[in-house]
Structure 1
Amino acid sequence: MIDYIVVGFGLAGLAFVDKLENNNKSYTVYENYSEKSSRVAGGLYNPVILKRFTAAWLASEQLQLALSVYKGIEDKLGESIISELAVLRRFNSVEEQNLWFEACDKPILDRFLSSELVRNENDALDISFHYGKVKHTGRINVKRMLSLYLQNVEKKKKLMKESFQYDQLVITEDFIEYKGIKARNIVFSEGYGVRNNPFFNYLPLIGNKGEYITIKSKRLKLEEAVKSSIFIIPLGDDLYKVGATYNNQDKTPNTTKSAKEELQSKLERFLKVDYEVVDQEAGIRPTTRDRRPLIGTHPEHKNMHIINGLGSRGILIGPYVAEKLYDHIEKEKLLDKEIDIKRFEKL
């Protein structure tokens, strides 16, 4: 008998497994690498919604916890995965600059927004107005972190590289059993893959496709992440991640020519040097209508749980909801109504 089976290993699955490791819980992970939204993510942690100059949901609380968790993961992996990276918001008008100053005066935002505007000094970019600078930002190398962490899980013989077959799950009052493995609990962290899960596919997960391109430009020489209608994120070695698109109609995993053209069109509005597209990636973000995660216990099976719906802010939200779900299962703490899947029980 082990403590947990965890199905799926993106940002949500990693955060929950790390919580299990830190509490000496036994577990087995099932991962088939079919959902890619975490692995293709830009990796920025940013406490501000830069389209509207508003604080992200529980920004301060989530940021503090997330950085603590990722620093702990760095220590486990023995490799740096966190890098401080300034985020500059490109203004399109004087009116936007004035709105920025108004936001700086709000108590919830004053610690995150700098009231000193930044002048563009990069000749590769056409920036008519100033930048606004966001504080307490950086980048997590998500793809590397997930890969190294899974390697460690595999070395401990706790990883099954296969698709989960729901019809082979045996549910009893006190435990579940799957292919001879008995566990006290099972946690599904499948991202958009939950649509195939017969136990939780009633939940209203929408799914939003995001595509990134990676460009190479020796003349750009950008050391900060720049946010306009898209992000330009420096990766080193003259490489930059550009994105992302938002498409809630196309739910296929493939990259598209239209997304590439959209990103290049937006990029070329202010990028004035030559570049080459060297890669393109796509993933389906697990998004919800109310923009809140899907956390909790199945209405009929007390040892079956879910952690999902992190959307486009999984880096910050993941550690927070992993802690909430763990305390809900192990300490019988009530979940906040805004994240508890009980809000969809009528479905």
Structure 2
Amino acid sequence: MKVDYFVVGLGLAGVAFCEELRQANKSFLVFDNNSQQASMVAAGMYNPVILKRFTEVWMAKEQLAIAKPYYKELERLLNVKLDYTIKLYRRFASIEEQNLWFNASDKPNLEPYLSTKLVSNSNPHIDAPFNLGEVYHAGRVDTTALISNYKSYLKNHSQLVSDGFQHDLLQLDGEKLQYQNHEAKHMVFCEGFGLKHNPYFNHLPLNGTKGEVLTVNVPNLKIDYALKSGVFIMPNTTEDYYVGATYNRFDKTNTPTDNGKTELITKLNTFLKASLEVTSHKAGVRPTVNDRRPLVGTHLKYKNLHVLNGLGSRGVMISPYAAKQLFNHIENKQPLNSEITINRFRV
């Protein structure tokens, strides 16, 4: 098969780049073997504010402007609901946190996202004596439904190779790339933490941060909003809720741990006053970078090899933006945002 692009990896980054290709009528073939699970494990919540410090997410306005129509188009293409608007509240632990919130809401870049009205808590199963603050423009994308349905779409169009990708079988022949009986002009690696095993881009400073999430059953809670305190809790079904997430910089496995489970439940119980049952426990390694910016760009020597990675814990919101940046860089020779280009790590 001869195509315009090979894409390696089908997490949030891979799907986003494939959509750029599809909408530009570029032919492509995707290689995926389910080896990296961060996108599938993610609860999928997005919001424009870093709620630990009350600061704006990098380029939040630009990301949301691209992400909202992107997911709407995916819903149309796949005929499945993906993007759920949901209220998001930040629980205040003190008067001091309230004051920090109000100070942040006065800043021009945060004003569109932070409500200046305190929300009183009336739920007997939530402990919030200092009230709640509402974050606007938040939501949740069902990442499991997105990726599984997108894989089915690619299979139906003979665009998916499900037995993974072996880097040592790739042949670089001038302007074309040869892999087994397939040929392409360009290749984009979207391997998540698997980039550590990529001989062309493993020099990039991808750290990897393990995240664990729980699904818990809380029969009497009955909240229809997401709540962030030491951890977040977010509705999944009527009585089931997502709880997350941990951040472990040392464990690089996808295996759920007792320590992670205990940490999440302990933090949850600081504000949840109800009995719960853990029904699911998952883990994945997020592709993170120290400066909290993606890794996007072209190989210094091989000009038809590219990378789209390092989306961290905000892949739902940033992947459409980063994919568009890379596509326009390759096809239209547009310069990449200087904060995401891999050239920032050249010595």
Task: State the TM-score bracket (shorter-chain normalisation).
Answer: over 0.9
TM-score by length of 1: 0.99
Asked whether the equivalents of residues 81 and 145 of structure 1 are also in contact (C-alpha less than 8 Å), the reply is yes
Matching of residues 252-331 of structure 1 within 5 Å: 252-331=253-332
1:120 is displaced (CA, Å) by 0.4
Partner of 1:240: 241
1:262 is displaced (CA, Å) by 0.6
Partner of 1:128: 129
* 1:88-143 Cα shifts (integer Å, max 9, x gaps): 00000001001111111110011000001100011111111110000011111111
Give the SS at the match of 2:281. Answer: strand
Give the SS at the match of 2:75. Answer: helix
Amino acid at match of 1:36: Q
Partner of 2:67: 66
* 1:280-305 Cα shifts (integer Å, max 9, x gaps): 00000000011110000001000000
Partner of 2:141: 140
Asked whether the equivalents of residues 299 and 345 of structure 1 are also in contact (C-alpha less than 8 Å), the reply is no
Between stretches 187-196 and 120-129, larger displacement belongs to 120-129
Partner of 1:158: 159
Aligned equivalents of 1:185, 1:193: Cα separation in 2: 19
Asked whether the equivalents of residues 211 and 245 of structure 1 are also in contact (C-alpha less than 8 Å), the reply is yes
1:345 is displaced (CA, Å) by 2.5
Partner of 2:25: 24
Aligned equivalents of 1:328, 1:344: Cα separation in 2: 18
Aligned equivalents of 1:61, 1:342: Cα separation in 2: 22
Partner of 2:222: 221
Partner of 1:186: 187
Aligned equivalents of 2:39, 2:88: Cα separation in 1: 20
* 1:1-31 Cα shifts (integer Å, max 9, x gaps): 3100000010000000011111111000000
For the pair 1:339 / 2:340, whether they are aligned, the reply is: yes
Aligned equivalents of 2:37, 2:118: Cα separation in 1: 36
1:237 is displaced (CA, Å) by 2.8
For the pair 1:175 / 2:176, whether they are aligned, the reply is: yes
Aligned equivalents of 1:326, 1:97: Cα separation in 2: 42
Aligned equivalents of 1:41, 1:328: Cα separation in 2: 28
1:42 is displaced (CA, Å) by 1.2
Aligned equivalents of 1:132, 1:277: Cα separation in 2: 28
1:240 is displaced (CA, Å) by 0.3
Partner of 1:94: 95
1:306 is displaced (CA, Å) by 0.3
Give the SS at the match of 1:236. Answer: coil
Partner of 1:53: 54
Partner of 1:108: 109
What percentage of aligned pairs have identical amino acids? 47
Asked whether the equivalents of residues 15 and 319 of structure 1 are also in contact (C-alpha less than 8 Å), the reply is yes
1:257 is displaced (CA, Å) by 0.3
Aligned equivalents of 1:188, 1:91: Cα separation in 2: 41
Asked whether the equivalents of residues 192 and 205 of structure 1 are also in contact (C-alpha less than 8 Å), the reply is yes
Amino acid at match of 1:182: E
TM-score by length of 2: 0.99
Give the SS at the match of 1:211. Answer: strand
- Structure 2, unpaired ranges of 5+: none
Asked whether the equivalents of residues 151 and 160 of structure 2 are also in contact (C-alpha less than 8 Å), the reply is yes
Aligned equivalents of 2:125, 2:78: Cα separation in 1: 37
